[in-house]
Amino acid sequence: MRNTCSTSFAEAPHKEKLMDFTIRRAGHVVLRVTDLPRAKQFLEDVVGFQTYGQEGSFYFLTANPVSNHHMIAVRSGKSGERLPDPRQIGMVSISYEVNTFDELRRIYQRIKEQGPAFGATLLRSEDFGSITNFVAADHDGNQLEFYCRRRADDQTDLDAPVAAEDPKRLPNLRSGIRRTSHLTLRCTDLAASQAFYREMLHLVPIAEANGRVYLASAPDAQPVLALEQSSDADAPLPTPKKMYGMEHFSMELASFADLQNAYRHLKGNGVDVHHTMDHGVTNSVYLIDPDGNLIEIYHDVPRAEYANPDNPFGSFGSLDDRLDGAPAL
């Protein structure tokens, strides 16, 4: 098992008061894909995301740019990189919450009818009583999960007819996706991974279901991660930026001061910060978890401070000096 820290987190006691920062919500996943135009068109035309920004051949997509400037991003991988493996350590799926059961049904039916033309397939659907979800795989095998909280009178059949969409409806509401919910990761050592996210990012378990532990910033908060134990000793480990599939996953903090505190907390506890970056829309810190997954924690830059409001995404250099500087007010 890889561990980029000097401490065994499964056994580490609290040595100091936790620095003041809180994970606010899940942000986005970045996927390296084999066929960028195909992946982008599937996410736009079938899932219902819209492309909100671009940096070169790197596309940033969202269901609503007001609430989250990107919920998923796609870029080309390199020839020869390995494809996602169903057994792999790392990303199992990225989950999105949908506003209503009718919206969930529309996404399901679009993927069922139009997805095969893009190499996408429906894998399974599940009914948990008050929650219905389904999982689809894109042409590379990346799994996307969609779910909604059902009302008592909702029709439970995902194949049941739905009313035609209002032609006057705003394009950015076409998908009905409310928010990025959580990332599911498969771990080589569940206890060690859970301890790492507790000690380093202050995430606590809030539920267990179907062999997964769901983590959030507080007992009454929405989950941002789900962890499950691998049962395959030969499962391939992630190699970020050198494989197709998940390049990294992100979680948002509330302020730059929070980001400073998190950065100092990580460094003070022996975590090797992978890099930092001013992305125009975000100030970001990247770290590697015990299995080698690349995780981004970030603070949203206020829109009034965007250097280029028409296309604010970019890479504007390291943040190390600012993060090490005087605490933000």
Cα distances from 111 to residues 122, 149, 184, 298, in angstroms, run 7, 20, 21, 31
In a domain, residue 14? The reply is no
Rg of the chain over Cα atoms, rounded to whole angstroms, equals 19
In a domain, residue 3? The reply is no
In a domain, residue 17? The reply is no
In a domain, residue 104? The reply is yes
Strand partners, 297: 251, 285
As given in the structure block, the two tokens for residue 234 are 């030969």
**Domain ranges, residue 31:** 23-324
CATH number for the domain including 74? 3.10.180.10
Cα distances from 22 to residues 12, 26, 45, 107, 198, in angstroms, run 20, 12, 35, 32, 11
Please give the chain's pLDDT, 329 residues, in tens: 344 443 444 444 444 455 689 999 999 999 999 999 999 999 999 999 999 999 889 999 999 988 899 999 999 999 999 999 999 999 999 999 999 998 999 999 999 999 999 999 999 998 877 889 999 999 999 999 999 988 777 777 899 888 776 666 555 456 799 999 999 999 999 999 999 999 999 999 999 998 999 999 999 999 999 999 999 999 999 999 999 999 999 999 999 999 999 999 999 999 989 999 999 889 999 999 999 999 999 999 888 888 777 778 888 889 999 998 877 76
Q: How many domains does the chain have?
A: 1
Main-chain phi, psi angles of 139, to 5 degrees: -65, -20
In a domain, residue 9? The reply is no
In a domain, residue 329? The reply is no
**pLDDT tens string 221-244:** 999 999 999 999 999 999 999 999
Strand partners, 285: 276, 297
Per-residue pLDDT at 313: 87
In a domain, residue 152? The reply is yes
In a domain, residue 13? The reply is no
Q: Which residue in 292, 281, 290 sits closest to 316, CA to CA? A: 281
